[in-house]
Amino acid sequence: MLENKSPREQSGRDSFSRYRAQVRSAAVATLSILEGLDIDRVYCDLHDDFVIRKKDSNGFTYIFYQVKTKGKQNHNWTVNELFGLKSTLRDQSKQCSKAIKDSFIGKLLLHTVVFDQYCNSVVFQSNIHNSDEVIDLLEDIESGAFAHKFTRVLIDRFNECFSEDPKKYTLEEIKERLSKLKLCPDVSYLKENDSSFDLVVKEKIYQFSEIELERAEFREILLRLLDLVERKSSGIIKTWSAESIETFAGISIDDLLSVLSISREAYLALLDGGDPNAIKSASMIQRSLRNSGADISAVMYCSRCKIDWDLWFRNARHIIPELDLLFISERIGSILWTAVTPQGMLSVSSLRQPVKDFLSELDTKDLKFDLNDDLVLGGIFSALVKGKS
């Protein structure tokens, strides 16, 4: 859908250095992709400052973000600045339609027409607060009342401002499009000289990576993330197509995994296996094996073993007596903590003999059930992930 509509302009892509706040906001938005849920893409400086793509059973929809900041922190956005509406006019019929259309909110509302049902919502994000009039206007729309004097102006002028056909949209259709407007004022990580950006990103990275990331590691990841957004926000897209948009403006899970230095294969294997914390699991397994010289095939093998163990354990809870299952789990945990080094390193080769010895022990105690080498190895890495979570 994005590739079917030409943007208003691409000057922002050609003068990137002016838009540092947009980069910070887009960087935070991209981390939501890691959840593996409905958000799967963020497009930088495309149709607006950035666009989030959501997917569901009905297809794709888009959230358009416009990010504007003010250096004067005690300033509040007025209805004139945001909507192009003059608050001092007694006769609201004299409001200027062109001013509404050309305003910050007007440009956002245009997306609700251009992209129609594919527009999920439009968001104005800022580092400062809104004036009381702006708050009242938005509350009137959100409540569904549509009774505020400025709301009525937006309704009356909507077709004139945003539709080629002055009679195209009905009252209910206009209300539906106005209801897609969201305002996000006083966003802390958009403020200059504010540490909130680092804290927000750190929390997200820790959530989807590892708790014990050292400061230097976090800074490296943060710089790679900002560099990724910068690259995806810069330069004119000469050939307008779905492929060029993905290449030059789109950020996907693959891009984020490269930032976090996590293999795509291990992440997808864990995600497909029903691991709700696939990023974290892949990160921990990969990091533990990496320093021992393991390659991607070893990481993949251990990730698959963990998936199989988690499935086996869920089923075993309904079949195997709880005391026996606790014994198996505790012994697997003891194998892990004996094999792992103080630096957190773990090698598959160091686990081979302990795994086989454990299986022999279970056999003599009549507790082996259907366990094998791979399942026990998976149990070890499952214990590793739980221990570090």
245 contact partners, CB below 8 Å, separation of at least 6: 2, 3, 43, 46, 237
Most confident of the following: 136-140, 159-163, 381-385: 136-140
Question: Taking a C-beta distance cutoff of 8 angstroms, is the pair 187, 126 a contact?
Answer: yes
How far apart (Å, rounded) are the C-alpha atoms in residues 184 and 197?
Answer: 16
What pLDDT shows up at residue 10? Answer: 60
More confident residue, 72 or 306: 306
Question: Could you tell me which residues are beta bridge partners of residue 65?
Answer: 50, 123
pLDDT tens for each residue of 12-27:
554 433 447 899 999 9
How far apart (Å, rounded) are the C-alpha atoms in residues 150 and 128?
Answer: 22
Decide if pLDDT at 258 tops 70.
Answer: yes
What pLDDT shows up at residue 16? Answer: 38
Q: What is the mean pLDDT of the chain?
A: 88
Enter the tokens of residue 379. 């149990």
pLDDT, mean of residues 33-53: 92
**Helix H segments across the chain?**
11-14, 20-30, 79-83, 97-102, 104-114, 132-143, 149-162, 171-178, 196-208, 215-232, 242-248, 253-260, 264-272, 278-290, 296-316, 322-339, 348-364, 373-388
Characterize 134-163 residue by residue with b for buried, 16 or more Cβ atoms within 10 angstroms of its Cβ, and e for exposed. beebbebbeeeebebebbebbbebbbebbe
pLDDT tens for each residue of 213-241:
667 777 888 888 999 999 999 888 888 89
What pLDDT shows up at residue 57? Answer: 84
pTM of the model: 0.77
Most confident of the following: 192-196, 236-240, 249-253, 255-259: 249-253
Confidence of residue 264 (pLDDT cuts 50, 70, 90): confident
Share of the chain above pLDDT 70, in %: 92
More confident residue, 220 or 369: 369
What is residue 291's three-state secondary structure? coil
How far apart (Å, rounded) are the C-alpha atoms in residues 3 and 335?
Answer: 54
Decide if pLDDT at 291 tops 60.
Answer: yes
pLDDT, mean of residues 62-68: 96
Enter the tokens of residue 16. 């990137």
301 contact partners, CB below 8 Å, separation of at least 6: 348
What pLDDT shows up at residue 96? Answer: 96
Decide if pLDDT at 356 tops 70.
Answer: yes
What pLDDT shows up at residue 19? Answer: 45
Strand 119-126 vs strand 76-77: parallel, antiparallel, or unpaired?
Answer: unpaired
Q: Order of strands across the sheet with 59-68?
A: 181-184, 119-126, 59-68, 48-56, 39-46, 250-251
Q: Can you give the residue ranges of every domain in the chain?
A: 2-258, 262-388
